[in-house]
Structure 1
Amino acid sequence: MKAAVLGLDGSKGKEITLPPVFGTPYRRDLIKKAYTILDTHHFQPKGTHPTAGMDVSADSLNPPTGHGQARIARMKGGGGRRRGEAGEVASIRGGRQAHPPKVQKVIHKKINKKEKKLALCSAIAATASKSTVAGRGHIIDGIELPIVISDDIESVSKASEVRKILSALGLFADVNRLEGRKPRTGKSALRGRPKKIGKSILFVVGADGPVIRAVGGFPGVTARPARDLSVLDLAPGAEPARLTVYSKAAIESLAGISSPHLGLAGKTDWT
């Protein structure tokens, strides 16, 4: 498989041969599994206070029988507002939870290394499929995939330059697609989340550079070094495949992926 290297003005340059990773079979089920597992790695442990709901002066009768009332613990007091009400135990108003969340709970799921690698390779290969990318909702009319751009993109440091590049490549329509989203209502809006931003174009570059910061001014547009590429970037919401633009250096970096299914099981920079 070959692809033409585009200039920043959209002009076509010479063709390059894509690495074997772009020939990986499409495994939607595996991509979804890997996303679900990797998404748990940013979860934070949570739990309740050890004595939540029990910091009250309630006690059960001793002996519990012979008083003509239920055996549940009741509030003490000399005529206070809650005197005689049930308290401290679960299933009553203001009481503790029966089974509260514990910070010791294991919430980070694990995945086999080979599964994770195959899911990443499959997600990368899916970015070259026009039907898969269009099925996610991206606007790619008249665009050939995969999109490979010259390494000059990595030195771009201004949002105005990024805007010109997106327009020259015919990708700005996909960025404008996110502006038509309707605002949310209900609790999400009251809590400061009135609108979902969504995901648009992903720039994959060879290394960290100013372009990663420059694309931050456009909704849904992000940039990642090839070395840090993840299924979370390529298939947001476990839905492949995201509209992706690769730099030439990023393509060279992807050629170093080692995986048994690619026949490249030797030692490389990728783990």
Structure 2
Amino acid sequence: MTDISETAIAGQATPPPTTPLLVLKDIRKSFGDNEVLKGVSLAVEPGEVVSIIGASGSGKSTFLRSINGLEMPQSGFLKFEELSFDFRTESRFLPTPAQMQSLRTRVGMVFQSYNLWPHMTVLENVIHAPMKLLKLPKAQAVEEAEALLSRIGLYDKRHSYPSRLSGGQQQRVAIVRALAMKPRLMLFDEVTSALDPELVHEVLVLMASLAAEGMTMLLVTHEIAFARDVSSRVLFFDKGVIAETGSRDILRNPGSDRLRQFLHRILHDGLAYGSAPAETIEGA
């Protein structure tokens, strides 16, 4: 069995200073009278792995979905590579449909519910977007998809339908489907939360290997031990703001009582599969 920490450590060399791949400033989002994001700012360097933790309703998933336009902020600024969006309603720089498509072809996202098309085989799921959006010839799309499926040990399932796969297999196919678009940034939203405990490890190993290879990643997760192994940085969301941020060390030595309480609840209540014992948190 592959050790996640060993896989992750291989990719932890300190990179030289670079231009941020992603910049977000003062992102705000409300649903009715409920302000879910209250001015969140973040810059992400190429190759960084940023883990986002926090209680349900803290705004972390809405923030992730705002990055690729699944939720449209009411205020704030986003820059990804050469694309710049100003979300103020009076701005001339609101994203056009063409700009949003350009963003989404470069930002892959994987959800907790897999979202594979049930009427398509595994292979058809993986090649659909590269053929439609990247205009790849079918032969090239199939060749690249089969190489990705071989990498995760699911080549022999390429002609199977999703209903014939386990949850862990479906989630790995969902990750491969996103990778087939050759994204510059990957977003993961609680991708293990719907899986049985025994299936979580195979998905985390795949994600750790992506981190070790230098993929830029933002992940919302309750897998505290995993976040501690792979993260360049950790963000703790609370009530719509980033309440604490730092290196992975804040998962062992929280700087605030609120983060300490959150980690204590997660680890003691067993809400994270495979998490480290609570006594590894100072003050817990």
TM-score normalised according to structure 1 size: 0.27
More strand by share: 2
TM-score normalised according to structure 2 size: 0.26
Larger Rg: 1
